[in-house]
């Protein structure tokens, strides 16, 4: 394994990979399609990137909220290295705020990110090489970035992925695909598999979970990943009353057929009540099979239905120290950021505060 000298060896904020300096110390983040314009001391929608005097920093580089080991089929991915095991990892922060999210305490991780914005944290910090060594020690064949949108953590995802490839491991990126072309181009050499949600074919659905997102943006991003040579599989979680109409099933399947190929796998998963959608019932089984039949009618060849599976959740994972083979006190001791950009607490942009407190239905 090559020893890269630019990879941090202790906890610190790391400069955001895709940033564009604007006037008056304002900087645009181009990792996801929010393309947040962030002023000094402010954080973007995901809360994981902060502006310090005109430079953007990722707060969560090396910070792990969860680790788990599963068969790759559980991501769900069926047509890439079947029968192998993958180590799934996640951090904090997400570009969406889904009403039915099962991972909210880590996908948003408000407290953890607030601490990180102050340059002090008790969260697990794992340098890229240690994570790859952990995966090799566990005997898995790949590493998956999941549990929230990995684009908001891309600096770490890229460093780990490069080392993972050098060590002979494959990499999986589980995404909501609200991701910029620039980020996809940057990750394409290092990411083998994209497992992406197509949550709905309705802009209204996306608007409720992520105000600026449109269906077309998400579909363009998935197609771009496919065109860049990443192996793509798609997934739709059928939510009663939200995206469960037969026309929509057919539209999704038709898009997959026409843009990814009729042999491209489409995974249909079941909704389990959570968070703001805990008043809804589980998806009736007949709706899952209705979606499968709609996809068969339009000629999709590889349709997978899961009546026991919803999102790729991190809910019942063991503590990260179990996998890191480390003492819990040691892993969670207070760490001070080794960089020197801090000094004041990052604050949310006003316009995003409004979004965060508004009621989201999806
Ligand atoms: S939500 Fe986060 S990752 Fe996306 S553009 Fe804003 S700061 Fe960047
Ligand atoms: S369901 Fe996924 S995309 Fe939505 S908020 Fe949770 S982690 Fe983010």
Domain boundaries, the chain: 14-58+333-357, 63-306
Q: Which two tokens mark 107?
A: 């996908």
**87-124 exposure pattern, b = at least 16 Cβ within 10 A, e = fewer:** bbbbbbbbbbbbbbbbbbebbbbeebbbbbbebebebb
Give domain 63-306's CATH architecture.
Answer: Alpha-Beta Barrel (3.20)
pLDDT by position in tens, the chain (length 362) = 456 778 999 999 999 999 999 999 999 999 999 999 999 889 999 999 999 989 999 999 999 999 999 999 999 999 999 999 999 999 999 999 998 888 888 888 888 998 898 888 999 999 999 999 999 999 999 999 999 999 999 999 999 999 999 999 999 999 999 999 999 999 999 999 999 999 999 999 999 888 899 999 999 999 999 999 999 999 999 999 999 999 999 999 999 999 999 999 999 999 999 888 999 999 999 999 999 999 999 999 999 999 887 776 656 677 888 888 888 888 999 998 887 666 555 555 544 554 444 433 33
Phi/psi region, residue 47 (left: phi>0; alpha: psi -120 to 50; beta: rest), is left
Q: Whose CA is nearest to atom 6 of ligand 2?
A: 101
Query: Are 318 and 68 in contact, with CB atoms under 8 Å apart?
Result: yes
Q: Which ligand is nearest to the CA of 45?
A: 1
The pTM of this model reads 0.94
CB 312 within 8 A of CB 276: no
Report residues whose beta carbon is within 6 angstroms of any ligand 1 atom.
29, 31-32, 34-36, 44-46, 48-49, 95, 151-152
Intra-chain end-to-end CA distance of the chain, in Å: 44
* 360 alpha carbon – ligand 1 mean position (Å): 19
Nearest CA to ligand 1 atom 5: 35
155-171 burial code (b ≥16 CB/10 A, e <16): bbbbbbbbbbbeeebbb
- Residue 76 in contact with residue 146, Cβ under 8 Å? no
Query: Which residue has the least CA distance to atom 8 on ligand 1?
Result: 29
3-state secondary structure 159-186: HHHHHHHHCCCEEEEEECCCECHHHHHH
Residue nearest to atom 7 of ligand 2 (CA): 148
Find the 14 Cα to ligand 1 centroid distance in Å: 15
> In the structure encoding, which two tokens stand for residue 198, read together?
């197509």
């Amino acid at each position: 394994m090559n020893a890269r000298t630019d990879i941090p060896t202790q906890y610190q904020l790391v400069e955001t990979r895709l940033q564009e300096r604007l006037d008056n110390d304002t900087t645009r983040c181009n990792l996801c399609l929010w393309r947040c314009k962030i002023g000094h001391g402010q954080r973007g929608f995901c809360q994981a990137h902060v502006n310090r005097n005109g430079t953007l920093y990722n707060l969560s580089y090396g910070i792990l909220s969860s680790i788990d080991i599963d068969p790759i089929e559980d991501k769900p991915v069926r047509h890439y290295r079947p029968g192998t095991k993958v180590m799934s990892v996640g951090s904090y922060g997400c570009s969406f705020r889904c009403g039915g999210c099962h991972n909210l305490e880590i996908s948003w991780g408000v407290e953890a990110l607030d601490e990180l914005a102050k340059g002090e944290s008790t969260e697990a910090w794992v340098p890229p090489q240690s994570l790859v060594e952990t995966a090799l020690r566990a005997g898995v064949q790949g590493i998956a970035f999941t549990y929230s949108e990995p684009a908001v953590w891309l600096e770490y995802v890229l460093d780990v992925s490069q080392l993972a490839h050098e060590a002979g491991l494959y990499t999986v990126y589980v995404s909501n695909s609200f991701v910029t072309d620039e980020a996809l181009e940057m990750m394409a050499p290092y990411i083998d598999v994209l497992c992406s949600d197509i949550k709905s074919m309705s802009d209204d659905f996306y608007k409720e979970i992520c105000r600026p997102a449109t269906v077309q943006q998400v579909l363009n991003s998935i197609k771009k990943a496919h065109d860049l040579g990443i192996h793509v599989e798609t997934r739709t979680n059928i939510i009663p009353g939200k995206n469960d109409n037969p026309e929509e099933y057919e539209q999704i399947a038709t898009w997959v057929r026409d843009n990814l190929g009729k042999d491209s796998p489409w995974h249909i998963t079941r909704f389990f009540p959570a968070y703001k959608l805990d008043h809804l019932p589980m998806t009736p089984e007949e709706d899952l099979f209705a979606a499968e039949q709609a996809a068969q009618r339009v000629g999709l060849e590889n349709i997978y239905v899961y009546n026991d599976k919803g999102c790729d959740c991190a809910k019942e994972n063991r503590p990260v120290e179990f996998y890191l083979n480390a003492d819990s006190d040691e892993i969670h001791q207070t760490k001070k950021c080794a960089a020197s950009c801090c000094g004041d607490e990052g604050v949310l942009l006003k316009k995003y505060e409004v979004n965060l407190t508004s009621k989201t239905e999806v």
